[in-house]
Amino acid sequence: MKHSNLFCAVALLGGMLTVGCGGQGKADYDALIANGWQLREIIAADSSYTIMPERPVTVVFSDSSTVSGFAGCNGFFGTFSTIGQNDIIIEPKGRTMAMCPDMEFEDRFMALLEQVTSYSVLSGELSLNDTENGMTLLFDPQPKEEK
């Protein structure tokens, strides 16, 4: 459990109301881990485009702070942590090793995922943002696969 989450838990157990605990941030976190997510669009400062891969690009966040998904050719896995209301750090740790004819999209997607600094879930849509570089990854919900 991250320090900010621990603080929120202690504050709530102690009966105190603290800013940054619960509220929209808690609702966004609950939605983040409740769904799997399918990439719909990448919006970058220099361009915007809709994703039309043969197989959908996906990401799944778990309540155990792990992240996994499919990046266009390979599966990937890693960890994530949330801080405060809606800040997030995503740390991909590895990918499967399939060799595909065009790795450009996958490499770009993985690099963008590592640059994400915040997230929100609004009207069922997940937005992963890197505001410093003017980039947003937009995802639609999809049911999590049962393990």
Parse the chain into domains and list their residue ranges: 24-141
pLDDT averaged over every residue in the chain: 81
Yes or no: say if 118 and 129 are a contact pair by the CB < 8 Å rule.
Answer: yes
Q: In the chain, what percentage of residues exceed pLDDT 70?
A: 77
- Write the burial class of residue 117 (CB in 10 Å: 0-12 exposed, 13-18 middle, 19+ buried): middle
- Model pTM? 0.78
| Band of residue 16 on the pLDDT scale cut at 50, 70, 90 | very low
pLDDT on residue 13: 32
Sign for the CA dihedral angle at 70, 86, 142, 146 comes to positive
For the domain spanning 24-141, the CATH number is: 2.40.128.270
Which ranges of the chain does DSSP label H, i.e. alpha helix?
3-13, 23-34, 104-115
User: For residue 51, is pLDDT > 80?
Assistant: no
Instruction: Supply φ then ψ for residue 28, to 5 degrees.
Output: -65, -40
User: For residue 6, is pLDDT > 50?
Assistant: no
